[in-house]
Structure 1
Amino acid sequence: MDALDRVQKRFATSQALMDQVRYAAESLSLNFDRWDEPHVSGPSLYVLIVAEMSFDHYTDPLGGNEWPTDRCRLVTDSLDKFTEVARDVALTRDGAIVVSADGTIQRQMVRVRNPSLAETEENADVTPTDWMGTKHLSALETSLREEVIWVITLSEEDGRVTTFFDGTYQDYPRSEIGGRWRPG
């Protein structure tokens, strides 16, 4: 399978799941009304959508930071329920949320280790921008891992939502998210 076939296969099987996570992140950003206040952090998310259930070789458990699987186990069960639980997690916990390709949310939140050169594609041209902080740089690099399909972030600093795929990203500043459904 050539590189284009691999990307198309990964994209086709995960687009709807990524869209649901992104929609939830956008909802959290739009419904937080304190972005302009000094010294206030908004909700923050770092979500990995992974192809395999085994992710121990590039993550470390992040202590007591856990996703409440008793309240929401699957992204796809109910977008409202996922968004509600994501809001609670985004305001009270730290670390990456791991979601398998079937939409199952892993209980333990994690710290993602930086990939080695051997773990990333040789031809990957990762180009960060000025607005990217530590979480976004990590997400960009993490998206290069073979077993990571998508990475979605919500910035606690300004409410921007970003999707990462194979070392590329699509950034949605808060003023541009929501499209036609955006309130007000």
Structure 2
Amino acid sequence: MINTKIEEILLICGYSKCEFFINDCKENIKFEFDNIFSNKEKTEAYIIISEDISEKIMKKYETEILWFQNCYRDNEALIYNINLIILYDNKRLNQEMSNLIFKYERDTHICRKIFINSDSELGELELDVLPFKPLKKIEFKGQEEQLRNKITSIIGGQDIYYELLKPYEELDIKTIRNKLLT
């Protein structure tokens, strides 16, 4: 379900499903992933992985990507912009899987890894971590005064609030800092 939603977002954002091949002297060797989406220039790719994750599977994908990065010569920019979107089921989350996600989530060696909880209860919120997904604008119609009052109470007054509304070039950082620290 969420796999289909991610594919739809990729297509809307200008990515298309594709395959990559390594041109060997004797034959074309296919890059072994099924769900690859690339931008038109073939400089960035997202690979969706929806199978149960384990240390063995993560190592398999990393090895395959590393092989591809070392052999692919058609577009050098692509080898630095391969991203894995790894789906996992939060209902099956245990300590071992949590440790695995923690280990690989921040690891940018070989490629970037984005873990997405496939639990449908979270829906769109979980997909907001995808770097290509446009964020929805939140409007507070009819709540402007309440919002302004809440912000001014948090930051310490209307003077700072109105200073922060100024364009960046006109901001007086020293004034803001002094008011926040007093």
TM-score of the aligned structures, taking structure 1 as reference length: 0.25
Q: Which has the higher strand share?
A: 1
Larger Rg computed on CA atoms: 2
TM-score of the aligned structures, taking structure 2 as reference length: 0.25
Q: Which has the higher helix share?
A: 2
